[in-house]
């Protein structure tokens, strides 16, 4: 039985409090999706939150204060993922490197999506950046994910595994085996659409991320029964994914609207799962 909990609190206080509990040193994944410094009040049909345009230096310091606490929560096999946009990612990366060590950096994931184009004399911004750091380089939890091969690969080799043919110590050519291929090891550019207006997972909360995005992170970096923490819970996407995939999770948010949306989302998700089991 998985345990998904919600903490209505300033995340700096909540993270500090968690350090004095049995959770300290046991967390497999901390996912942080802080506000993006848009200078706006982000509004949706079911909630809103302020996203002030604070000084970039202060923004980095604020994020890194929370990272310093979250880092202590991680198990030796855990990882931290920070979700940012292209205007702040490079500043924050320098800050994280200084906070936990540049050697702990594992990957930069680019989430590419399509959206309605805006009028601009620049290339359209259609991606976010996810920075992944590991507590123990070379020793973190890793479950390999795969994506479909290219059309040309399927045309040449079909859906079978390829095998290198070695002659005189050198690779001469490739051949296929009778074993089905799981696909191509997943790269660090993820093309995942934003949430459609009619999607069942849409809550109406602003800046909601798609479940497919967080599902990849959870599947790749945690085991069933593992523990996950989301200090910027928002509409509870990570908690909903963890509940569905059998992971324990703690979501933290100071916004009562976010807490209400997440509780309702988890309630509906639980009813859906019960209905599926009965069906």
CATH value at residue 261: 3.40.50.150
Q: Which helix (H) or strand (E) holds 229?
A: strand 227-230
Can you tell me the mean pLDDT for 30-57?
93
Q: Can you tell me whether residue 171 is helix, strand or coil?
A: strand
pLDDT over threshold 70, residue 191 = yes
Question: Is there a single domain that holds both residue 22 and residue 151?
Answer: no
pLDDT over threshold 70, residue 275 = no
pLDDT value at residue 164: 67
Question: Is there a single domain that holds both residue 46 and residue 174?
Answer: no
pLDDT value at residue 155: 66
Can you tell me the mean pLDDT for 125-148?
96
Q: Give the domain range for residue 63.
A: 4-145+186-278
Contacts of 232 (CB under 8 A, 6+ apart): 11, 32, 33, 34, 35, 252, 253
pLDDT value at residue 274: 44
- pTM of whole model > 0.75? yes
Contacts of 94 (CB under 8 A, 6+ apart): 60
pLDDT over threshold 90, residue 90 = yes
Can you tell me the mean pLDDT for 88-92?
97
Can you tell me the mean pLDDT for 215-223?
98
Question: Is there a single domain that holds both residue 225 and residue 165?
Answer: no
Contacts of 139 (CB under 8 A, 6+ apart): 76, 77
Cα-trace Rg, the chain: 21
pLDDT over threshold 60, residue 279 = no
pLDDT value at residue 157: 64
How far is residue 86 from each of residues 34, 74, 109, 127, 257, measured CA to CA in Å?
Answer: 13, 26, 12, 8, 28
Question: Is there a single domain that holds both residue 84 and residue 170?
Answer: no
What does the mean pLDDT of the chain come to? 91
pLDDT value at residue 278: 44
């Amino acid at each position: 039985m998985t345990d998904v909990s919600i903490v209505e609190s300033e995340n700096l206080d909540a993270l500090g409090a968690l350090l004095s509990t049995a959770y300290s040193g046991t967390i497999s994944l901390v996912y942080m999706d802080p506000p993006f410094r848009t200078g706006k009040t982000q509004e949706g049909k079911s909630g809103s939150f302020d996203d002030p345009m604070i000084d970039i230096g202060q923004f980095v310091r604020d994020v890194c204060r929370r990272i310093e606490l979250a880092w202590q929560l991680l198990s030796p096999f855990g990882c931290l993922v920070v979700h940012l946009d292209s205007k702040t990612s490079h500043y924050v990366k320098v800050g994280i490197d200084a906070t936990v060590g540049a050697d702990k950096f594992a990957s930069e994931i680019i989430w590419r999506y399509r959206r309605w184009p805006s009028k601009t004399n620049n290339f359209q911004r259609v991606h976010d950046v996810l920075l992944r750091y590991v507590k123990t380089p070379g020793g973190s939890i890793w479950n390999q994910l795969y994506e479909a091969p290219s059309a040309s690969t399927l045309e040449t080799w079909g859906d079978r595994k390829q095998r290198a043919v070695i002659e005189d110590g050198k690779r001469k050519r490739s051949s296929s085996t009778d074993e089905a291929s799981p696909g191509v090891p997943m790269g660090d550019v993820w093309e995942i659409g934003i949430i459609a207006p009619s999607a069942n997972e849409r809550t109406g909360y602003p800046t909601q991320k798609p479940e497919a995005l967080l599902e990849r992170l959870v599947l790749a970096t945690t085991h069933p029964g593992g523990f996950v923490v989301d200090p910027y819970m928002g509409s509870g996407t990570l908690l909903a994914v963890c509940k569905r995939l059998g992971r324990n999770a703690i979501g933290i948010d100071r916004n009562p609207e976010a807490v209400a949306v997440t509780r309702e989302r988890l309630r509906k998700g639980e009813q859906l799962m019960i209905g599926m089991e009965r069906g």
